[in-house]
Amino acid sequence: MELQICKKCLMLSTRPRLTFNAEGVCSACEWSEEKHSMVDWGKRELELRELCDRYRSDNGQFDVIVPASGGKDSSMVAHRLKTQYGMHPLCVNISHHPLVNTEMNEINLNNFVNHGFSMIRIYPNPVIEREMDRNGLIDYGQPYMGWMAAMLLAPIKIGMRFGIPFIMYGEEGEVEYGGSLELKNSMLYSLEQTKRLYLSDIDVKKLYKSATEGDGFSWWEAPSEEEIEQVKPAVAHWSYFHNWNSNENYRYARDHVGLQSKPCNSVGTYNAFAQTDSILYSLHTYFMYLKFGFGRCSQDVCIDIRSGELSREAGIDLIKQYDEAYPEEYEERYLQYYNMTRDEFYAVIDKWANKELLEKRNGRWTKKFDIAKL
């Protein structure tokens, strides 16, 4: 298949589930246009008010679960639900393994909670999580499948235990950043969609290959159909109700809950405020680059072009500068976390590198194509 690049942003056709219209514009850009012209945000805001009215407790009990990383997006969601919608959020944080967690994450989580939020922090069994992440990396080229699955399933399970069916995540990534448009007009989504769209229908429990009878899988087990029927969870994304803008979320969280950004830009990109909670995110985007030929910088550039904060020309320069960067500064910690030698780790990298798009030069995978010429 010939490599195509969006005429508006700079997203490549290799992005899973991304589609292009006849003018060569990608589905994320089409959605971005629609957000500004066709979506009736007033109506959607009203839908959120009604949803909150349906679940709001009148005695101060928790009434909405907000999965929270301590980052800009979830902090904004929790703060606005509390201050603008009179909700009583119970935030749920899925801790990263200590070997990959960042100091910045601890600082921001503390800042956030200290602004008046209640939070349950889950430490999923690190032995299981680590093995799942290792096998996910080898078998699927995905560095944190164990953590990701816990993040998608555990908040629903906590909600069920506390009798809180209403769960509010941040953005619907498929619609916002390019992918399936299935959920763009859906207020709520199902467990089946969670598994299919966000976990690629992979049974994450199978990544724990050394499992023995009686090992606690609870955070990785989806609720049963009976449980779902009983509690009827209402799982939503904030981006359905309000026009999502990552940069505005950052400014909001900085001003309202003291969110801090890193003193320098993250590896592979030019910004310093997104996804700073785990060093695995840099590896996640590096593997995205290996598989699809676009990296963390491309992803950020496309977001900023769509929001009108960056020109396509400036975006091309940034991508050329940052996109291919290997997160070398974390390499030792990756080897430790995945329990691999450097040779084993590099073999996984080479296995997942897309040889049609990339070639190895001086030991690193570089692009064979020039985005300015596509």
The footprint of Zn ion (CB under 5 A) covers: 6, 8-9, 11, 26, 29
CB closer to Zn ion out of 347 and 372: 372
CB of 6 to Zn ion, least distance (A): 3
Residue 185 buriedness (CB in 10 A; 0-12 / 13-18 / 19+): exposed
Full 3-state SS string of 190-216? CHHHHHHHHCCCCCHHHHCCCCCCCCC
Element (H, E) at 33: helix 27-37
CB of 303 to Zn ion, least distance (A): 10
Q: Are 115 and 83 in contact (CB under 8 A)?
A: no
CB closer to Zn ion out of 27 and 135: 27
Integer-rounded Cα Rg, in Å, for the chain is: 20
CA-wise closest residue to 257 among 138, 130, 110? 110
CB of 292 to Zn ion, least distance (A): 15
DSSP state of 265: P
CB closer to Zn ion out of 17 and 361: 17
CB closer to Zn ion out of 26 and 152: 26
Q: What's the CA gap between 82 and 69, in Å, rounded?
A: 17
CB of 302 to Zn ion, least distance (A): 6
CB of 18 to Zn ion, least distance (A): 8
CB of 125 to Zn ion, least distance (A): 40
CB closer to Zn ion out of 102 and 307: 307
CB of 25 to Zn ion, least distance (A): 6
In terms of phi and psi (left: phi > 0; alpha: psi -120 to 50; beta: otherwise), the region of 60 is left
CB closer to Zn ion out of 9 and 94: 9
CB of 244 to Zn ion, least distance (A): 16
CB closer to Zn ion out of 131 and 176: 176
CB closer to Zn ion out of 29 and 51: 29
Characterize 134-169 residue by residue with b for buried, 16 or more Cβ atoms within 10 angstroms of its Cβ, and e for exposed.
bbbbbeebbbbbbbbbbbbbbbbbbbbeeebbbbbb
Full 3-state SS string of 143-174? CCHHHHHHHHHHHHHHHHHHCCCEEEECCCHH
Which structure tokens are listed for 104?
């910045």
In a 3-state reduction of DSSP, which class is residue 136?
A: helix
